[in-house]
Structure 1
Amino acid sequence: MARVLVTEKIADGGLDALRAAGHDVDVQTGLEPAQLLEAVPGAHALIIRSSTQVTAEVLEAGRDLVVVGRAGIGLDNVDVEAATRRGVMVVNAPQSNILSTAEHTMAMLLSVARHIPQAHAALADGRWERSKWVGVELADKTLGIVGLGRIGKLVAQRASAFGMRIVAHDPFVAPERARQLNIDLVDLDTLAATADFVTLHVVKTPETIGMIGEDFFDRARPGIRIVNVSRGGVIDEAALAAALEDGRCGGAALDVYAEEPPTDSPLLGLPGFVGTPHLGASTREAQDKAGDTIAEQVRLALAGEFVPFAVNVAAAEASETVRPFLGVAEQLGGIFAGLSGGVPPVLDIEYQGELAGYDTRILTLSILKGAFAGTTEEPVSYVNAPQVAAERGIEVRDTTTVTTRDWVNLVTVAGGGHTVSGTLVGLRADPRLVLVDGHTVDVPPSAHMVIVRNDDRPGVIGRVGSVLGDAGVNIADMDVGRSDEGSSALMVISTSQAVPGEVVAALEASDGVASVAVVDRV
Structure 2
Amino acid sequence: MRVLVSEKIADGGLQRLRDAGHEVDVQLDLTPETLLDAVKGAHALIIRSATKVTKEVLETGTDLVVVGRAGIGLDNVDVAAATDRGVMVVNAPQSNTLSAAEHTMALLLAQARNVPQAHAALKDGRWERSKWEGVELSDKVLGIIGLGRIGKLVAQRAMAFGMKLIAYDPFVTPDRARQINVELVDLDTLMSRADFITLHLAKTPETAGLIGAEMLAKAKPTLRVINVARGGIVDEDALAAAIADGTIAGAALDVFAAEPTTESPLFELDQVVVTPHLGASTAEAQDKAGDTIAAMVELALAGDFVPFAVNVSAAEASESVRPYLPLAERLGRIFAGLCGGDGDGASGSGNSIDIEYQGQIAEYDTRILTLSVLKGFFGATSGEPVSYVNAPQVAEEQGIEVRPTATTTARDYVNLITIRSGAHSLAGTLVGLRSVPSLVMIDDHTVDVPPSEHLLVVRNEDRPGMIGTVGSVLGEASLNIDDMAVGSNEQGAKAIMVIATDRSVPDDVVTRLRGVDGIVSVYAVG
* Structure 1 CA distance for aligned equivalents of residues 430 and 494 of structure 2: 27
Give the corresponding residue for 1:422: 428
Aligned AA (1:98)? T
* Structure 1 CA distance for aligned equivalents of residues 450 and 227 of structure 2: 54
Q: Is the 8 A contact 1:144 1:197 kept in 2?
A: yes
Q: Deviation at 1:33?
A: 0.6
1:34 and 2:40 equivalent?
A: no
1:351 and 2:350 equivalent?
A: no
Q: 1:455 aligns with which of 437, 461, 474?
A: 461
Q: Deviation at 1:182?
A: 1.8
Tell me, what secondary structure is at the counterpart of 1:373?
helix
* Structure 1 CA distance for aligned equivalents of residues 411 and 167 of structure 2: 49
* Structure 2 CA distance for aligned equivalents of residues 137 and 402 of structure 1: 56
1:17-166 to structure 2, matched below 5 A, reads 17-166=16-165
1:234-273 to structure 2, matched below 5 A, reads 234-273=233-272
1:460-471 to structure 2, matched below 5 A, reads 460-471=466-477
* Structure 2 CA distance for aligned equivalents of residues 35 and 475 of structure 1: 54
Give the corresponding residue for 1:381: 387
Q: Is the 8 A contact 2:333 2:380 kept in 1?
A: no
User: Deviations for 1:193-230, whole angstroms, at most 9, x for unmatched residues?
Assistant: 11000000110101111111110111111131000000
* Structure 2 CA distance for aligned equivalents of residues 217 and 348 of structure 1: 53
Tell me, what secondary structure is at the counterpart of 2:317?
coil
Q: Is the 8 A contact 1:44 1:67 kept in 2?
A: yes
Q: Is the 8 A contact 2:88 2:300 kept in 1?
A: yes
User: Deviations for 1:445-491, whole angstroms, at most 9, x for unmatched residues?
Assistant: 12221111011111111111121221222222211111121345111
Identity of aligned residues (%): 68
User: Deviations for 1:81-124, whole angstroms, at most 9, x for unmatched residues?
Assistant: 11111111111110010000000000000000000000000010
Give the corresponding residue for 2:284: 285
1:172 and 2:178 equivalent?
A: no
1:168-247 to structure 2, matched below 5 A, reads 168-247=167-246
Q: Is the 8 A contact 2:336 2:381 kept in 1?
A: no
* Structure 1 CA distance for aligned equivalents of residues 485 and 494 of structure 2: 14
Aligned AA (2:456)? V
Aligned AA (1:208)? T
Q: Deviation at 1:344?
A: 2.4
With over 3 angstroms needed to count, the CA separation of the structure-2 counterparts of 1:131 and 1:245, relative to structure 1, is same
* Structure 2 CA distance for aligned equivalents of residues 47 and 261 of structure 1: 20
1:485 and 2:484 equivalent?
A: no
Give the corresponding residue for 2:444: 438
User: Deviations for 1:221-268, whole angstroms, at most 9, x for unmatched residues?
Assistant: 113100000001111111111111111121111101011112232111
Q: Deviation at 1:440?
A: 1.1
* Structure 2 CA distance for aligned equivalents of residues 27 and 416 of structure 1: 50
Q: Deviation at 1:377?
A: 3.7
* Structure 2 CA distance for aligned equivalents of residues 57 and 493 of structure 1: 48
Q: Which has the higher mean CA deviation after the structures are superposed, 194-203 or 490-499?
A: 490-499
Q: Is the 8 A contact 1:47 1:71 kept in 2?
A: yes
**Long gaps (5+) in structure 2:** 341-345
Give the corresponding residue for 1:511: 517
Q: Which has the higher mean CA deviation after the structures are superposed, 257-266 or 128-137?
A: 257-266
Tell me, what secondary structure is at the counterpart of 2:318?
coil
* Structure 2 CA distance for aligned equivalents of residues 344 and 18 of structure 1: 41
User: Deviations for 1:16-56, whole angstroms, at most 9, x for unmatched residues?
Assistant: 11111111111111100111000001111111111111111
* Structure 2 CA distance for aligned equivalents of residues 245 and 254 of structure 1: 16
Aligned AA (1:155)? V
* Structure 1 CA distance for aligned equivalents of residues 189 and 410 of structure 2: 52
Aligned AA (1:252)? A
* Structure 1 CA distance for aligned equivalents of residues 133 and 298 of structure 2: 53
Q: Is the 8 A contact 1:456 1:486 kept in 2?
A: no
Tell me, what secondary structure is at the counterpart of 1:209?
coil
* Structure 1 CA distance for aligned equivalents of residues 87 and 166 of structure 2: 39
1:327 and 2:326 equivalent?
A: yes
Q: Is the 8 A contact 1:92 1:294 kept in 2?
A: yes
Tell me, what secondary structure is at the counterpart of 1:166?
strand
Q: Is the 8 A contact 1:421 1:435 kept in 2?
A: yes
Q: How many matched pairs? A: 519
* Structure 2 CA distance for aligned equivalents of residues 163 and 394 of structure 1: 59
Q: Deviation at 1:311?
A: 0.6
Q: Is the 8 A contact 1:460 1:511 kept in 2?
A: no
* Structure 2 CA distance for aligned equivalents of residues 451 and 378 of structure 1: 26
Q: Is the 8 A contact 1:453 1:488 kept in 2?
A: no
Q: Is the 8 A contact 2:486 2:494 kept in 1?
A: no
Please tell me the root mean square deviation across aligned C-alpha atoms, in Å. Answer: 1.1
Give the corresponding residue for 1:336: 335
Tell me, what secondary structure is at the counterpart of 2:455?
strand
Q: Deviation at 1:170?
A: 1.1
Structure 1 moving runs of 4+ over 4 Å: none
Aligned AA (2:223)? I
Give the corresponding residue for 1:500: 506
Q: 1:397 aligns with which of 392, 395, 403?
A: 403
* Structure 2 CA distance for aligned equivalents of residues 476 and 26 of structure 1: 42
Q: Is the 8 A contact 2:458 2:522 kept in 1?
A: yes
Q: Deviation at 1:180?
A: 2.0
Aligned AA (1:460)? M
Q: Which has the higher mean CA deviation after the structures are superposed, 60-69 or 472-481?
A: 472-481
1:277-316 to structure 2, matched below 5 A, reads 277-316=276-315
Tell me, what secondary structure is at the counterpart of 1:249?
coil
User: Deviations for 1:414-448, whole angstroms, at most 9, x for unmatched residues?
Assistant: 11121110011122211111111121111111222
Aligned AA (1:515)? S
Q: Deviation at 1:175?
A: 2.0
User: Deviations for 1:474-511, whole angstroms, at most 9, x for unmatched residues?
Assistant: 22221111112134511111122222211111010012
Q: Is the 8 A contact 2:240 2:266 kept in 1?
A: yes
User: Deviations for 1:180-201, whole angstroms, at most 9, x for unmatched residues?
Assistant: 2221111111111110000001
Tell me, what secondary structure is at the counterpart of 2:268?
coil
Aligned AA (2:488)? R
* Structure 2 CA distance for aligned equivalents of residues 426 and 497 of structure 1: 27
Q: Is the 8 A contact 1:253 1:275 kept in 2?
A: yes
* Structure 1 CA distance for aligned equivalents of residues 318 and 116 of structure 2: 46
Aligned AA (1:213)? G
Q: Deviation at 1:354?
A: 1.1
* Structure 1 CA distance for aligned equivalents of residues 351 and 186 of structure 2: 47
Q: Is the 8 A contact 2:336 2:380 kept in 1?
A: no
Tell me, what secondary structure is at the counterpart of 2:468?
helix
Tell me, what secondary structure is at the counterpart of 2:285?
helix
